Amino acid sequence: MDLNRFKPMDSTRVLFCVFSILAQILAEQEVENLSGLSTSPDKDIFVVRENGTTCLMAEFVVRIVVPFDVLALNGIDLITEQAQITVPRGAEIQGKCGSTEAELQISWINDAYTFRLFFIKEAHNVSKGQDVFWKINKIQFVYDTKEPSHFINAVNPGKHTASSHHLSALVTPGGRSYECQAQQTLSLISSDHHKGVTISMSEVRIQPFDIKSDFMFSEAYKCITDQREQLEEMLPLILGIILALIIVITLAVYHIHQKMTANQVQLPRDRSQYKNM
């Protein structure tokens, strides 16, 4: 056997392999469930990081209503029940960041449930100067009716997928985060006999693109519902200020009028007194 064929690896090649491995490790994605930092027991906070920098952040309360069939007492007819599902703390997450597409995936109870949000960034009116915005263009919820904590005595149990169709939700200007305290309801269609699955989201703060500071949302773009509620809360105060201004102006005009008339010569009311003038 010719032992000269087994020469030690060139040192340059060794260094190249080491740096490649290190680069691969640094480029690996980090995902964190920070729900424990929330003061609300129902609120979940999720962070996706790439290359040591936050690229996607989301916090929200999600409640999911899933209809499913059970047998009636006669053992023949079917009755539709509703499972009330919330995303629990400690759920496993995965994420994907990109320049124009991003994704957040949340799974729990050994993948019996998986909630996915798909984001897209677009630019319109390019000829007049780019108007960039991002939105949720798809929501997907995978659930297993064999899971007994929410689905009791489900007929023909198994995995089903509920998906949105032609969705355009949470439309937000580019470079900003979306914020909405009010509840928003979205409807999905399930593969389980086209049943309707309802997704309710509240206390939402999301940003899937262009995060400038690590673990920090950019300037918030508030939803129309929050803006309307804020206006309704401020309306009594605004009306009160306007009313107070009207009263002040009225009193001021009255005071000026009284002062001006007091300096004028008072003509006698009794005509007989004109002879003495």
Mean pLDDT of 81-110: 94
| pLDDT score of 20 more than 50 | no
Task: Indicate the range of 14-28, 204-218, 255-269 predicted with least confidence.
Answer: 14-28
| pLDDT score of 261 more than 90 | no
Quote the CA–CA distance of 66 and 197 in Å, as a whole number: 5
Question: Is residue 109 situated within a structural domain?
Answer: yes
Confidence of residue 21 (pLDDT cuts 50, 70, 90): very low
**73 and 84, same domain (yes or no):** yes
**31 and 140, same domain (yes or no):** yes
**145 and 234, same domain (yes or no):** no
Question: Is residue 134 situated within a structural domain?
Answer: yes
Question: Is residue 45 situated within a structural domain?
Answer: yes
CB 70 within 8 A of CB 145: no
Question: Is residue 238 situated within a structural domain?
Answer: yes
- Each residue's pLDDT tens digit, 28-81: 568 877 876 777 778 889 999 988 889 999 999 999 999 999 999 888 889 999
Quote the pLDDT of residue 197.
97
Quote the pLDDT of residue 15.
40
Question: Is residue 52 situated within a structural domain?
Answer: yes
Amino acid at 18: V
Taking the CA atoms of 259, 265, 267 and 272 in sequence, report the sign of the dihedral they define: positive
Mean pLDDT (the chain, rounded): 81
Quote the pLDDT of residue 10.
54
Task: Indicate the range of 169-183, 187-201, 225-239, 243-257 predicted with least confidence.
Answer: 225-239
For residues 52 and 16, the model is more confident at: 52
**118 and 235, same domain (yes or no):** no
CB 113 within 8 A of CB 86: no
* Gap between the terminal Cα atoms of the chain: 148
Confidence of residue 276 (pLDDT cuts 50, 70, 90): low
Quote the pLDDT of residue 89.
84
Which among 32, 34, 23 is positioned nearest to 55, based on CA atoms?
A: 32
Quote the CA–CA distance of 27 and 21 in Å, as a whole number: 10
Domain that holds residue 248: 223-256
Question: Is residue 7 situated within a structural domain?
Answer: no
Quote the CA–CA distance of 277 and 268 in Å, as a whole number: 10
- Count how many domains the chain has: 2
**74 and 122, same domain (yes or no):** yes
**169 and 210, same domain (yes or no):** yes
Predicted TM-score (pTM) above 0.85: no
- The set of long-range contacts for 31-37, using a CB threshold of 8 Å and a minimum separation of 24, is 31/93, 31/94, 31/95, 32/93, 33/89, 33/90, 33/91, 33/92, 33/93, 35/89, 35/90, 35/91, 36/89
215: its two tokens:
């673990």
**172 and 70, same domain (yes or no):** yes
- The count of C-alpha atoms lying within 13 angstroms of the C-alpha of 212, restricted to the half-sphere facing its C-beta, is 8
Return the CATH number at 151: 2.40.160.110
Mean pLDDT of 231-252: 68
- Each residue's pLDDT tens digit, 120-160: 999 876 556 568 999 999 999 999 999 999 999 999 999 99
Quote the pLDDT of residue 257.
67
| Gyration radius from the chain CA atoms | 33
191: its two tokens:
């593969």
**117 and 231, same domain (yes or no):** no
| pLDDT score of 5 more than 90 | no
**167 and 32, same domain (yes or no):** yes
Question: Is residue 272 situated within a structural domain?
Answer: no
Question: Is residue 133 situated within a structural domain?
Answer: yes
Quote the CA–CA distance of 98 and 208 in Å, as a whole number: 9
